[in-house]
């Protein structure tokens, strides 16, 4: 029992002589006096003689590092923004604490302003901002606060209150030490100390009430003004929340934070851009409203103003993932390649481990043909991924994008690195084969395609990619059309490559002179496209159907079949001028044919 007797001010008492863990806090100091004792007192029994006496709390000090608070919050907020990418981050403010989270949906940050009230700990949620699919940032912040402090504190609007802190701590901790919990009626909040890596809360008997700072008072006044609207916002009732903020704006005219909240709700409606802009302009220049102002300016065509708004917000943002997301948004608005490159470099510099901005720069470098830079980003993505499976997936994704842009050498390197983690992955082996094919190494590519097909068959699956590539090489490189036809016939009906397989089968059967077999393959292609419909058929399907129509016309003289193929192609690509022209010609020729 880490308690000892003390004598101070003529009164006997008990106190801790070593810190105690009360996760996520550490109780640095805990002392209470025993005022009802009458002297002289027999001290020979030590603490055991006095631990059951009722005392009065004199001192209580709680300390918590930001790292401990973040670790405590992470399991409770693991799905706050989709899957969290890292633990929540906290940092000190002038009169409170900043909170930041980054997850699959985007990044979010908000401030908790300190506003003490007697024996109650009180925080005000303010300055909420976000990027990505977070919706209205304040609504998301209030939901996060509800999740984190469920059962511990009460939230009214944006004000979070933890009542009777001293009483709660004493009733939880002191009986576990084998003593009677002291009374806490006379104990109040003395101070809240926040430094670079921790916060300390001190309570004492007869403490003068700790007043709030100017920022805290301002946040508290705003919270009282729009408490009802905040409740509606937290509940997802956007229309009611908007009406409440407009009502508050009538009582506090040209309040920038109220105007920003209305604009954040209106930004989800494309037809409200002008009205929301007018509301913001009445308060401050629109460029001072961050991402919300930028989105509205971009909708009305002021891209320069939108870029200035994001540039200003990103430069002032202390939470690195959110700043990185803002720089990424700026890159999407940039017109020149140099500006876009600079914005993406700044985004990666802010948060090097954030996968979304790293992928954005990787894709941009692939578009620019910067193979060396793209490879560097891909290696960084590999290093940032956790576990062999995720690293393999990141490398395969990057390598496929390089292959699509014709950067075969770099793609081959990434596929080889991916195969170190999962050596028997048919898709990666097939991708490596495509990369080698782009480098002219046909024989080696063909062996890899065969290996991918065998590995897929061993798993009782089908690698349609490898079958198509292997069939192409058999037909075009080896001149073995029968074996190529046999390979494409293995592509299952449910595969997205089924259309291409039927088109290739028809082409190669026609090359072999099997005209009826080719006509049958093209007919199956048309049926598959008609069943799939315009929404699911591949873009190339119209070209394949056009090829089928020309075959029916020139090789078999079947204008009716050609007209049906072209009609299906026209439904898939109604704006294709070549398909429209061929359809009109075929339909006209069919109309001129004499009836049998």
Other CB atoms closer than 10 Å to residue 368's CB: what's the count?
Answer: 14
User: In this structure, is residue 37 part of a structural domain?
Assistant: yes
| DSSP for residue 23 | T
User: In this structure, is residue 265 part of a structural domain?
Assistant: no
Number of domains within the chain = 2
**Residue partners of 462: CB distance under 8 A and separation at least 6:** 456, 490, 491, 492, 495
99 - beta bridge partners?
90, 110
Q: Are 343 and 327 in contact (CB under 8 A)?
A: yes
Per-residue pLDDT band at 423 (split at 50, 70, 90): very high
pLDDT tens digits for range 282-298: 999 999 999 999 999 99
| DSSP for residue 180 | P
Average pLDDT in the 103-116 region? 92
Which of 219, 237, 267 represents a domain boundary (last residue)? 219
CA pair distance 339, 546, nearest whole angstrom: 43
Which of 166, 185, 219 represents a domain boundary (last residue)? 219
pLDDT tens digits for range 553-589: 888 888 889 999 999 988 888 888 888 999 898 888 8
**Residue partners of 210: CB distance under 8 A and separation at least 6:** 116, 188, 189, 190, 191, 192
The reported pLDDT for the residue numbered 121 is 85
Which of 202, 219, 236 represents a domain boundary (last residue)? 219
Share of the chain above pLDDT 70, in %: 95
User: Please, what is the end-to-end C-alpha distance for the chain in angstroms?
Assistant: 109
The reported pLDDT for the residue numbered 450 is 92
pLDDT tens digits for range 171-190: 888 888 888 888 888 777 88
Determine the structural domain holding residue 557 and report its residue range: 519-596
CA pair distance 570, 564, nearest whole angstrom: 10
Q: Are 95 and 114 in contact (CB under 8 A)?
A: yes
Average pLDDT in the 133-147 region? 93
Sign of the dihedral through C-alpha 150, 155, 160, 164: negative
CA pair distance 582, 589, nearest whole angstrom: 11
Query: What is the side-by-side order of every strand in the sheet holding 89-92?
Result: 89-92, 96-103, 106-114, 121-132, 159-162, 154-156
User: In this structure, is residue 468 part of a structural domain?
Assistant: no
CATH number of residue 577's parent domain: 1.25.40
User: In this structure, is residue 281 part of a structural domain?
Assistant: no
Average pLDDT in the 116-131 region? 87
Torsion-angle region of 184 (φ positive above 0: left; ψ -120 to 50: alpha; else: beta) = alpha
User: In this structure, is residue 114 part of a structural domain?
Assistant: yes
SS3 content of the chain, % helix, strand, coil (to 5): 60, 15, 25
Q: Are 139 and 234 in contact (CB under 8 A)?
A: yes
User: In this structure, is residue 420 part of a structural domain?
Assistant: no
pLDDT tens digits for range 227-265: 999 999 999 999 999 999 999 999 999 999 999 999 999
User: In this structure, is residue 269 part of a structural domain?
Assistant: no
The reported pLDDT for the residue numbered 538 is 66
User: In this structure, is residue 262 part of a structural domain?
Assistant: no
């Amino acid at each position: 029992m880490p308690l000892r007797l003390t004598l101070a001010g003529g009164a006997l008492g008990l106190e801790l002589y070593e810190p105690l863990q009360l996760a996520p806090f550490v109780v640095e100091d805990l002392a209470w006096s025993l005022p009802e004792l009458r002297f002289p007192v027999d001290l020979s029994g030590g603490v055991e003689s006095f631990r059951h006496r009722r005392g009065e709390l004199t001192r209580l000090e709680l300390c918590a590092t930001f790292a401990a608070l973040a670790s405590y919050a992470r399991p409770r907020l693991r799905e706050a923004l989709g899957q969290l990418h890292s633990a929540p981050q906290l940092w000190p403010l002038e009169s409170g604490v900043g909170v930041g989270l980054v997850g699959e949906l985007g990044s979010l940050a908000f401030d908790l302003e300190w506003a003490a009230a007697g024996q109650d700990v009180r925080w005000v949620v303010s300055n909420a901002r976000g990027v990505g699919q977070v919706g209205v940032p304040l609504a998301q912040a209030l939901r996060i606060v509800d999740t984190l402090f469920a059962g511990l504190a009460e939230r009214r609007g944006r004000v979070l209150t933890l009542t009777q802190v001293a009483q709660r701590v004493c009733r939880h901790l002191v009986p576990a030490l084998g003593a009677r919990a002291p009374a806490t009626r006379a104990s109040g909040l003395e101070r809240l100390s926040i430094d670079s890596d921790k916060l300390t809360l001190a309570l004492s008997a007869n403490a003068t009430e700790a007043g709030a700072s100017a920022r805290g008072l301002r946040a508290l006044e705003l919270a009282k003004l729009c408490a009802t609207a905040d409740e509606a916002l937290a509940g997802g009732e956007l229309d009611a929340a908007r009406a409440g903020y407009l009502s508050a704006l009538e009582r506090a005219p040209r309040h920038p934070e109220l105007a920003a909240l209305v604009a954040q709700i209106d930004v989800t409606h494309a037809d409200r851009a002008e009205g929301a802009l007018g509301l913001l302009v009445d308060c401050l220049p629109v460029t001072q409203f961050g991402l919300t102002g930028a989105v509205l300016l971009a909708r009305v065509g002021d891209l320069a103003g939108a870029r200035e708004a994001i540039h200003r917000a990103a430069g002032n943002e202390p939470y690195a993932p959110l700043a990185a997301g803002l720089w990424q948004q700026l890159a999407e608005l940039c017109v020149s390649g140099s500006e876009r490159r600079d914005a993406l470099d700044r985004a990666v510099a802010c948060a090097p481990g954030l996968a979304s901005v790293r992928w954005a720069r990787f894709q941009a470098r692939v578009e620019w043909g910067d193979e060396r830079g793209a490879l560097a980003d891909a290696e960084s993505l590999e290093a940032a991924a956790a576990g062999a499976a995720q690293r393999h997936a990141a490398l395969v994704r990057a390598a496929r994008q390089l292959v699509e842009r014709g950067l075969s050498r770099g793609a081959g390197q990434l596929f080889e690195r991916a195969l170190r983690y999962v050596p028997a992955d048919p898709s990666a082996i097939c991708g490596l084969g495509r990369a080698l094919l782009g480098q002219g190494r046909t024989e080696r590519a063909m062996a890899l395609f065969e290996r991918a097909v065998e590995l897929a068959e061993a798993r009782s699956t089908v690698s349609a990619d490898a079958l198509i590539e292997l069939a192409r090489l058999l037909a075009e490189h080896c001149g073995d059309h029968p074996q190529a036809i046999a390979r494409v016939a293995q592509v299952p009906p449910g595969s997205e490559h089924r259309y291409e397989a039927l088109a290739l089968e028809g082409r190669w059967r026609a090359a072999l002179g099997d005209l009826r077999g080719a006509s049958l393959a093209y007919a199956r292609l048309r049926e598959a496209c008609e069943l799939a419909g315009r929404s699911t058929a591949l873009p190339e399907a119209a070209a394949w159907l056009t090829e089928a129509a020309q075959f029916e016309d020139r090789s078999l003289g079947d204008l009716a079949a050609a007209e049906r193929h072209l009609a299906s192609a026209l439904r898939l690509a109604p704006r294709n001028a070549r398909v429209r022209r061929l359809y009109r010609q075929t339909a006209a020729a069919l109309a001129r044919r004499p009836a049998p």
